[in-house]
Amino acid sequence: MLEFDFTFATPLGFLETYMSALGATDLPTELYSRFLLELSLTKLSLQKFKPSCLALASLLVTWRKLGLTDPYNRVGLGPETSALDQLIKNEARDPSQVFECAQELE
């Protein structure tokens, strides 16, 4: 007998992966990002975005709100490119969607 146990990707799973990739280990960033993701569950306008997009947008908004311009530039990028910007370019097929989602979260 075949048993099919399906799971689906959640924004929280992507958030944990992205924070790990960025080396973001501070508690305020994690808690505020999680809070934004929980709030996103109640806004119908945010349901059109992919879970990965929501996770990136929550990090972007968190850094803006906490006044962190580029706290985790640990991947050897130049000073003009932040690690989060590089992650957005690599992970999002359409980076403008991440910024649109971030505006909705704010």
Which pLDDT tens digit goes with each residue over 6-52? 888 899 999 999 898 888 888 998 999 999 999 999 999 999 999 99
Whether 77 has a pLDDT exceeding 60, the answer reads no
Per DSSP, the three-state class of 3 is: coil
Give this prediction's pTM. Answer: 0.79
Between 2 and 103, the more confident residue is: 103
Q: What is the DSSP letter of 65?
A: H
Over residues 76-91, the mean pLDDT reads 64
Angstrom distance (rounded) from CA 63 to CA 77? 18
